[in-house]
A and B are shown apart, each in its own frame.
Chain A
Amino acid sequence: EIVMTQSPVILSVSPGERATLSCRASQSINTYVAWYQQKPGQAPRLLIYGASTRATGIPPRISGSRSGTEFTLTITSLQSEDFAVYYCHQYNNWPYTFGQGTKLEIK
């Protein structure tokens, strides 16, 4: 099973600033990584797939990148609606696995 390790667990950032979330895979998964945002009481929402492709309706200030087995989600100019929990997800191997989540909170 591929383990996805997200860091940090909690990230405190001020509105208007940049947030950088990381996710490391325990083995190579090519670019088969997605990022989801989840707000309290809601289902997850797709943000990024293929490590760097934005889903429909996702603004350019949200971006994803990859370096080997390290994946990064970057959100610039943080807005109030961005404060939520973010999960990375690998879909390269069965079983599919998720990171444990990063909570992005207002500083």
Chain B
Amino acid sequence: QVQLVESGGGVVQPGRSLRLSCAASGFTFNTYAMHWVRQAPGKGLEWVAVVWYDGSNKYYADSVEGRFTISRDDPKNTLYLQMNSLNAGDTAMYYCAKVGAPYTSSWYFDHWGQGTLVTVSS
């Protein structure tokens, strides 16, 4: 069965960096686009970034463009999110999500990880 396990969250000071990981299993990782979605405490869902199944394209939300970098390591079946210049507005649960069909990026999310919490605070 599909499993997505995020890690790397924690408490970080404003302006510092953090790298999140998402270990995937139970599906052919290198045929699926992967996304990061975040949720601030008590708030709704916010899409963050996507990487194409082949890594050829990456898109970002305006709120993180230029500060966050999404990447993937297909041999390791792992998705990453490098987060730089963090601020209080980045405090959230970060979920990785798999799209519902292979070889496409524009699709719904059929599986989500349990999330990793990032808290930006001095």
Chain A residues within CB distance 8 Å of chain B: 32, 34, 36, 42-46, 49-50, 55, 87, 89, 91-92, 94-101
Contacts and interface: CB of A to CB of B under 8 A. Distances in A.
A32 to B, nearest CB: 7
Interface of A is mostly: loop
Given A44-B109, A96-B50, 11 more contacts: A32-B106, A36-B109, A42-B114, A49-B100, A49-B110, A87-B44, A89-B45, A89-B108, A89-B109, A98-B47, A100-B44
Contacts, number: 53
B107 interface: yes
B44 A99 contact: yes
A34 B108 contact: yes
A-B residue pairs, 4 tightest by C-beta: A34-B108, A96-B47, A43-B112, A49-B108
Nearest to A87: B45
